[in-house]
Amino acid sequence: MAALCEQLGVPVDDVDVGAILELAKDAAHQVERPAAPVTAFVAGYAAALKGGGQAAVAASVGTASELAWSWNAGPDPSTPTLS
């Protein structure tokens, strides 16, 4: 993680690995497995658009996790799967 943060110019202290992994788990289990990396990416992108930093990351991860936990629509048939 430290090497990746250094290469991307991201302060390592701004990356809450546990929260991001928990978000990926929530998306994989509550929505469907392929949603995990996409959800984590979109949460990170949203945090960046809001100026980045720990607070923006926490807010985006929290919102995405809440959505995953409220998800009850079932899989989207138009979404590619990993079969």
> Residue 71: which residues within 8 A CB-CB, separation 6 or more?
30, 31
Tens of pLDDT, residues 3-31: 999 999 988 988 899 999 999 999 999 99
% helix / strand / coil in the chain, to the nearest 5?
A: 70, 0, 30
Four-point Cα dihedral 28, 49, 62, 58, nearest 10? 120
For the whole model, what pTM was predicted?
Answer: 0.77
Structure tokens, 50? 């809001």
Distance, in Å, from the CA atom of 26 to the CA atom of 6, rounded to the nearest integer, reads 28
Tens of pLDDT, residues 60-72: 999 999 999 998 7
